[in-house]
Chain A
Amino acid sequence: MKTRFTTDTKLESEIAYFENINLKIESGDIIDSFKLAFKTYGKLNADKTNAILVCHALTGDQYVAGNNPITGREGWWSRMVGPNKPIDTNKFFVICSNVLGGCAGSTGPKELQNGSDVAYGGNFPSITIKDMVKAQSLLIESLNIEKLFSVIGGSMGAMQALQWAIDFPDKILNIIHIAGALKHSAQNIAFHEVGRQAIMSDPIWKNGKYFENNEVPERGLSVARMIAHITYLSENAMHRKFGRKLQSRDIISFGFDADFQVESYLRYQGKSFVERFDANSYLYLTRAMDYFDHDETFRKNIEFSHNPNNHLKYLIVSFTSDWLFPTIESKMIVNQLNSLSREVSFLEIDTDKGHDSFLLEEPQLDDVIKGFLTNNFAKIDE
């Protein structure tokens, strides 16, 4: 495999090109060539034992820390990744790539179809979490890293971490799985479906061909984001943050303006989202999450995998107020691992911040991630 690397100065990202690789994906389709946009932080040590792959969530990207040139803001996990942070880049070499199907520089519906000057749009093949992980494994291979010390992710990132444990256990030592599940639940699929319907019923969407007129189905995409954002919070957190407080007014308007702060907040979330995210990508990635299901296969995959996985360590974390990926879902993973006598740690963190907790200030999350990584790294470094 010959991989070409370039640096995209506008995206402030490295780009890895996998040309004529004929990647066979789960749907049966073949992607002949693709590219992944990625960032690295810290330095790979001489023995190449300190590499960590961070997997981003649904609307995340490769900008874990430092500046994100697309939003002009700090990276999405800059509180977790960096020098002397819980995932310490003085010690670890951290890699994060935009997933296959994403819209921050990796091959996805927004990018030009191979050998043409037209974007994929709705012609992009349906991808799965397994396909994303396969693409990541090719990136890791092309960086000449035989074994990752850890794969870490929350939400859709947790799905990828679990998929690594299933598909490439011989290429990793441990995973940190935060706010995830063995499967995407019916309720979660339902919320995704409402979001997709919002996008697809926007007249500008035009079966995914909105880019031909340089248009964006802003209304559909922002409504999808508003719905999703509600599922990332909790009732208590919303009440604490907004209550029934009014926005820039003293009395209600008896109309449909954003009277309440919570309305104004959601409108802002929707509006800012369309500036940085592609509507088709949102359709494809939510679908990939919906298709994720290891409910019945995880145990068999781990127990009878053709790859050895007895050495794997698992850290599973959930949050009390997360109703999108509730604790019970994490415990199912823990139960199955314990029934196989695997090395698993599990913590349910007490917080009212909902599913989004993994991105927010949670000291106990910092402590367990830092301790888990430091102590397990010390064991292999002996």
Chain B
Amino acid sequence: MNKINSIRKDWSLIETLIAEDRKILDIGCGDGGLMEQLENNRNAITHGIELNRDLAANAIARGFNVVHGNAELDLSQYSNNSFDYVILSQTLQAMMKPKDILSELLRIGSKAIVSFPNFGHWKIRLQLLISGKMPVTESLPYTWYDTPNIHFFTIKDFLNLCNEMNIVIEKSIGLTSKGKQFDISESVTGVNFFTHEAIFLLSYKNYEPIKIKSSKKVFAKNSVIAN
């Protein structure tokens, strides 16, 4: 599975998690490919952030609402609950502070969609075990010294973090390295072993957005009740 196909597959799965006519923020939106797909197929209203100047310029020139900026610095400008979905595709492992980003996603969005390559996949474990060197695979193709991926984690790690942060996993989709798709929550054994890439639909536990409607605007207030 090459990189492009992998991204396309990722996008089509993300699309299945999104309802019609929703407002979406795509973090690391590139040249707006996923935004275009969601506008066309889901009638979404899309906004994006992109760190790479040339990709951001392309996205803007293609007519998308894209802000050239750094998600780790610039997410604070968005208001609470101002999007229906916030998407972080294949980027969490490249963030300086993944936990902070995760809580930002669910502050800005009612729901968050996060996808990432699973570092617990058997091929990676085997590479490390046998060669004794940091693994290099199709989905993690960089050598250790020049990789943008600075926080490696497995599905098990991610599930633990969500639990700790009172985040509810509404849906979870796993992909094997052959592109076979399955529901992570229903597979009990070997999930962390066979999942090549994972996509999660997240929301807060006991999360009740209070929406106050006036004639022109909808004001929303967060009310998260932690356990």
| Chain A residues within 8 Å of B, Cβ to Cβ | 308, 310, 313, 315, 331, 334-336, 338-341, 343-350, 364, 367-368, 370-372, 374-376, 378-379
- A-side contacts of B62, CB under 8 Å: 371, 375
Is A334 a contact partner of B79 (Cβ separation < 8 A)?
Answer: no
Query: Most chain-A CB neighbours within 10 Å: which of B47, B61, B77, B216?
Result: B61
A338 with B77, Cβ < 8 A, contacts A348-B53, A368-B60, A371-B61 known: yes
A368 with B57, Cβ < 8 A, contacts A335-B77, A339-B79 known: yes
Is B63 a contact partner of A350 (Cβ separation < 8 A)?
Answer: no
Task: Report Cα–Cα, A336/B65, bound state, in Å.
Answer: 15
- B-side contacts of A370, CB under 8 Å: 61
Task: Report Cα–Cα, A349/B61, bound state, in Å.
Answer: 13
B68 within 8 A of A: yes
Is B67 a contact partner of A372 (Cβ separation < 8 A)?
Answer: no
Q: What residue of chain B has the Cβ atom nearest to residue A367's Cβ?
A: B61
- A-side contacts of B57, CB under 8 Å: 347, 349, 364, 367-368
Add 12 more A-B contacts to A315-B60, A343-B65, A368-B57 (CB < 8 A): A308-B216, A313-B65, A338-B78, A339-B77, A341-B78, A341-B82, A341-B83, A345-B65, A347-B56, A350-B53, A368-B61, A371-B62
- A-side contacts of B53, CB under 8 Å: 347-350, 364
Other-chain contact of A347, B60, B63, B78, B79 (Cβ < 8 Å)? B60
B69 within 8 A of A: yes
Instruction: Please report whether the interface of chain B is mostly helix, strand, loop or mixed according to DSSP.
Output: mixed
Task: Report Cα–Cα, A129/B161, bound state, in Å.
Answer: 52
B66 within 8 A of A: yes
- A-side contacts of B68, CB under 8 Å: 346-348
Is B216 a contact partner of A372 (Cβ separation < 8 A)?
Answer: no
Q: What residue of chain A has the Cβ atom nearest to residue B63's Cβ?
A: A375
Q: What residue of chain A has the Cβ atom nearest to residue B61's Cβ?
A: A371
Task: Report Cα–Cα, A374/B78, bound state, in Å.
Answer: 28
A379 with B63, Cβ < 8 A, contacts A350-B53, A368-B57 known: yes
- Give min CB distance, A306 to chain B, whole Å: 12
Q: What residue of chain A has the Cβ atom nearest to residue B76's Cβ?
A: A335
Is B78 a contact partner of A371 (Cβ separation < 8 A)?
Answer: no
- B-side contacts of A331, CB under 8 Å: 69
- A-side contacts of B63, CB under 8 Å: 371-372, 374-376, 378-379
- A-side contacts of B47, CB under 8 Å: 338, 343
Is B60 a contact partner of A345 (Cβ separation < 8 A)?
Answer: yes
- Give min CB distance, A341 to chain B, whole Å: 5
- B-side contacts of A341, CB under 8 Å: 23, 78-79, 82-83
B64 within 8 A of A: yes
Is A371 a contact partner of B65 (Cβ separation < 8 A)?
Answer: no
Is B60 a contact partner of A334 (Cβ separation < 8 A)?
Answer: no
- Give min CB distance, B35 to chain A, whole Å: 12
Task: Report Cα–Cα, A308/B77, bound state, in Å.
Answer: 22
- Give min CB distance, A375 to chain B, whole Å: 3
A339 with B216, Cβ < 8 A, contacts A347-B56, A375-B63 known: no
Return the CB mask of B104-143 against A: 1 if under 8 Å, else 0.
0000000000000000000000000000000000000000
